[in-house]
Structure 1
Amino acid sequence: MTQPAFRAGKAAIAFILVTAMLDIVAMGIVIPVLPPLIEQFSGSSARAGVVNGVFVALWALMQFVASPIIGSLSDQYGRRPVILLSTAGLAADYVLMAVAPNLWWLALGRIVAGITSASFTTVYAYMADITTPENRARGYGLVGAAFSAGFVAGPLLGGVLGEWSPRAPFWAAAAMSGIAFLYGAFILPESLAPERRMAFSWRRANPLGALRLLRSHVELTGLATVNFLLYFAHHVFSAVFVLYAGYRYGMSPWQVGLLLALAGALELVVQGVLTGHAVKRFGDRRVMVFGLFAGTVGIACMGLAPNGLGFTLALFPNALWALAMPTLQSLMTQRVSESEQGQLQGANNSVGSIAGVVSPLFFGSVYAASIGPDAPFPHPGTAFLVAALVLLASALLGAHVARRAVRRDAAAAR
């Protein structure tokens, strides 16, 4: 008998995807206006690049601390209560940032956002609960597509509202998070049956303890390193994308929002349409490696683009690295037990958060050192070129781990 693609009905899948999309819409709304607001408080684009990097690092540090705790709590108490508490916390946080009078208040807002946004680990664990292992990449692709859909609508809405008032997008984000909470409270079902739950343990829930799981298998360790490098490269966008687009190409918040919406739409197509078909034909490992190499080309083109049109066109090859994210997640879930899925997602998010602490500080400093008359690196796109080198290293390591995994699986089958 053919095993069903999903353990739960389509309704449960739709519920978690809508919840995830609403959360990302709320996050995406503030992206076009937060860096300009930081620039307004700090006084210059170069200093704003450094400060924005610090803010992203604060957010990631909170993710590093909170993600394994939240993942382990969801393994014990279920996914639904964790998601509800996090969306309510995000709503309160956006209200805080809407009234922030200075950089210190914005910094506090980013700290709270880092803690509450750690529920993304629970979203992935939820999808792991309701999908079979061989269809998990497809499920993660759907989650990625929901996130991308949120990033299509969010920046567009944020760009429009930002032209009216720099504070309006924060109020809109608070409203969207409130809607996500109400939607989840009345509609979202629980995905983790009581008999599949695991008792909470601080040994597993502390950030360093959670990382032990990633050392339990040689291939899991290699894939976690690929994950780290991917996240490190990706944070060039959160650190300098908005500032760079405004500085080099003169883009307004509305134009940047439109550009981010295009990026989200492309990733929506890649993860929602291409991933499932590509994995079915070529398998998780090959699709992951291809996505990493394609992303390397795209991000290098972004750093070399001579004008706004070239920068926009570079988003097309860059979007293909979205193929690597769900397939990498799928490969990792196949190396742990069903009761450890929440812990794995918490550990994965901790890895991404470590990269998120270091990477924005690094790319913010590179950006600051690449603009202005006395810049030691007199090319504004230097940060993107460095990110391309990091992603290339991730692609090469991913190819090596994939080849070793094929040989190991073949030997085990004999």
Structure 2
Amino acid sequence: MATIRRSLHTPEAKTDSQQITNNNNDGKQQGKEATKTAEPKEKSDPMIYIIFVSLLFDLLAFTIILPLLPSLLEYYRVNDSSGLYNVLTERVRWFQQLLGAPERYISVLFGGFLGSMFSFLQFLASPIVGGLSDYYGRKPVLLVCASGIALSYLLWACSSNFALFVLARFVGGISKGNISLCMSVITDVSSVKTRGRGMALVGVAFSLGFIVGPMIGAMFAIFSNKSASGGAWFVLPSLLALGLALGDLLVLSCCLRETLPKEKRVKEISSALSYGLQLLNVSSIFRFAAIKNVPKKDTDALRSIGLIYFLYLFLYSGLEFTVTFLMYHKFGYTSMDQAKMFLTTGVIMTLIQGSVVRRLPDAKIKSYAIFSLYLIVPAFVLVGLAEGSGMLYAGMILFAISTAFAVTCLTTLVSKYGNDDQKGSVLGIFRSLGALARALGPVVGSIAFWCVGSKITYIAGGIMLLYPALALQRARI
């Protein structure tokens, strides 16, 4: 993730014989007298910092559950008073017997369905929420999303059975359009010069969320004594997530001002929703059909990058999602052990994104994207072959290095195409392809894990990831 750079210099008068002028160039020394001509630094709108705090609360709450999910599903396997878990188990039992899949891996299958359901609901909600905010304004729609997210954590805290837990994940997924809305708020209040700073803060929020959230989730699970027989050990982590969500709601309601004035809103809700609905048309987003009046070679490049991105993220998300189940079932990792793995990979990604990725010259973006796509192949092969923590950590470290480059570089590549007034649409379609991939990947990865085991799943998945790398290497972009 990009980090924030603050200038430590201010314009100074260096001569009494010349009038100080401001321009867009960096301060340069001319002759023997250094005349600094840099323009005063444009200040970022305070709303950007409000969005940063809101996202930080939201992502900390969201990531608390990550290292807990395998243990949660095992808990509901034994303690489901609704009977839903047993009903679903009976529905797949004939398939399990046909394949000879072990009973304990059924939780992996159910986890994959839950992960894909959450991402698919997010795929559906984000463009519709964006369209509604163009008509009603950003703040009221953001408050509705934040309220839905808080409600999902309340349902989780009360989920004494599996049916309530599924309902909690459903409500959370359909309310998760807040991320795209936060990006819209930053766009509303930023100029071309300050937008980069705003997006950098978003990157910092994601980094902190995915580093700290899993760790505090695991710690609170331990404090609530999850080893107690029949004890609802997840209540404390879920209440912490609820507290963070309520904090987010308070920040938005008290501190966020409306950033889309009425005169700039669309006049009819039908036109507000039309573009959002285009992003739900699978054929349309793969063809980048909304991007018109651009050269054919640009359209072909967009379609190539979009397909590469979708295939990469589809395979990647399926394998990434099942890693927590691999650590739990094969290596016997506790929630804290898994949180330490998340901490390790998160710190590596943050350091690389802050020190290397944000400084990459445009000419090398494609080369680093290709490098990252090739690097993910041995990463997952090592994870599949691992019989001990050493090789598992080696594979996950390669995974972290690859992840630090891949999505950022591919997003930068695609953002070069389209006219100036189409950049937002290009990135919106690109994000929709990613959301669709993440909606399909977890369930397919979990089915493979359940059917053929972890070793074949990770090795085969890693080998298949060669295709996006080769395709990008051959693409003329």
Q: Which stretch shows the higher mean deviation, 386-395 or 308-317?
A: 386-395
Give yes or no for the alignment of 1:256 onto 2:338: yes
**Distance in structure 1 (CA, Å) of the matches to 2:265 and 2:351:** 34
Amino acid at match of 2:105: A
Q: Does 1:27 align with 2:71?
A: no
Instruction: Map 1:233-248 to 2 at 5 A.
Output: 233-236=315-318, 239-248=321-330
TM-aligned CA distance change 1:399 to 1:86, over 3 Å: farther
Closer/same/farther in 2, CA of residues 30 and 354 from structure 1, 3 Å limit:
same
Please name the residue that 1:409 is paired with.
none
- The CA deviation at 1:56 is 1.0
1:288 corresponds in structure 2 to 369
1:302–1:201 Cα change, 3 Å: same
Which residue does 1:214 correspond to in 2?
A: 288
Between the aligned partners of 1:286 and 1:131, the Cα distance in structure 2 is: 30
Question: 2:210 maps to what in 1?
Answer: 151
Bigger mean CA deviation after superposition, 32-41 or 203-212: 203-212
Deviation at residue 9 of structure 1 after TM alignment: 0.8
Given the alignment, which residue of 35, 38, 48 partners 2:73? 38
What residue is the counterpart of 2:245 in the other structure? 177
User: What's 1:313 paired with?
Assistant: 394
Aligned-pair CA distance for 1:284: 3.4
> CA separation of 1:30/1:68 partners in 2, compared to 1, >3 Å: closer, same or farther?
same
Q: Does 1:132 align with 2:192?
A: yes
Within the candidate set 122, 127, 132, 1:68 is matched to 127
Deviation at 1:229, TM superposition (A): 2.0
Q: Distance in 1 between matches of 2:52 and 2:172?
A: 20
Q: Could you tell me which residue of structure 2 aligns to residue 120 of structure 1? A: 179
Question: Aligned residue for 2:109?
Answer: 50
CA–CA separation in structure 1 for the residues paired with 2:160 and 2:104: 19
Pick one of 465, 473, 476 that aligns with 1:391. 465
CA distance in 2, matches of 1:59, 1:385: 26
Do the aligned partners of 1:228 and 1:355 also contact (CA within 8 Å) in 2?
yes
Please report how far the alpha carbon of residue 258 of structure 1 lies from its aligned counterpart in structure 2 after TM superposition: 1.6
Structure 1 pair 185/286, CA: closer, same or farther in 2 (3 Å)?
A: farther
Segment of structure 1 superposing worse, 176-185 or 290-299: 290-299
Q: Which residue of 2 aligns with 1:400?
A: 474
Alignment of 1:2 with 2:61, yes or no, is no
Once the two structures are TM-superposed, the CA of residue 232 in structure 1 deviates from its matched residue by 1.1
Distance 1:288 1:112, change over 3 A: same
* Residue 46 of structure 1, CA deviation: 0.6
How many pairs were matched up?
393
- Local SS of the residue matching 2:288: helix
The counterpart of 1:14, out of the listed 27, 31, 49, is 49
Greater RCO structure (CA 8 Å; 6+ sep): 1
Q: Does 1:203 align with 2:249?
A: no
For 2:30, the equivalent position in structure 1 comes to none
Report whether the alignment pairs 1:328 with 2:363.
no
Q: Is the 8 A contact 2:125 2:176 kept in 1?
A: no
Which residue does 1:94 correspond to in 2?
153
Contact 2:143 2:249 in 1 (8 A): yes
CA distance in 1, matches of 2:379, 2:425: 33
1:206-253 CA-partner distances (Å, limit 9, x unpaired): 211872772332222222212212321332355312111011111101
What SS class does the counterpart of residue 93 from structure 1 fall into? helix
Change in CA separation of 1:181 and 1:104 when aligned onto 2, cut-off 3 Å: same
Q: How does 1:343-382 map to 2 (within 5 A)?
A: 343-371=425-453, 380-382=454-456
Distance 1:153 1:121 in 2: 22
Cα distance in 2 for partners of 1:229, 1:141 equals: 27
From 146, 149, 162, give the equivalent of 1:103. 162
1:194–1:185 distance in 2 versus 1, CA, 3 Å: same
Q: Which has the higher helix share?
A: 1
Closer, same or farther in 2 for the Cα pair 1:212/1:232, shift >3 Å? Answer: closer
RMSD: 3.2
1:301 maps to 2:378: no
Measured after TM superposition, the shift of residue 171 of structure 1 is 1.3
Moved more, 157-166 or 323-332: 323-332
Asked if 2 retains the 8 angstrom alpha-carbon contact of 1:232 and 1:355, the reply is yes
Structure 1 Cα separation of the partners of residues 309 and 43 of structure 2: 28
Partners of 2:113 and 2:193 lie apart in 1 by 38
Contact 1:8 1:131 in 2 (8 A): no
Could you say what secondary structure the match of 1:33 adopts?
Answer: helix
Alpha-carbon displacement from aligned partner over 1:112-147 (angstroms, at most 9, x marks no partner): 1111123222334445553639985x8656533421
Deviations 1:298-341 (A, max 9, x none): 23322222311221232222112222222322333343466656
Q: Residues 112 and 300 of structure 1: is their aligned pair in 2 closer, same or farther, counting only changes over 3 Å? A: same
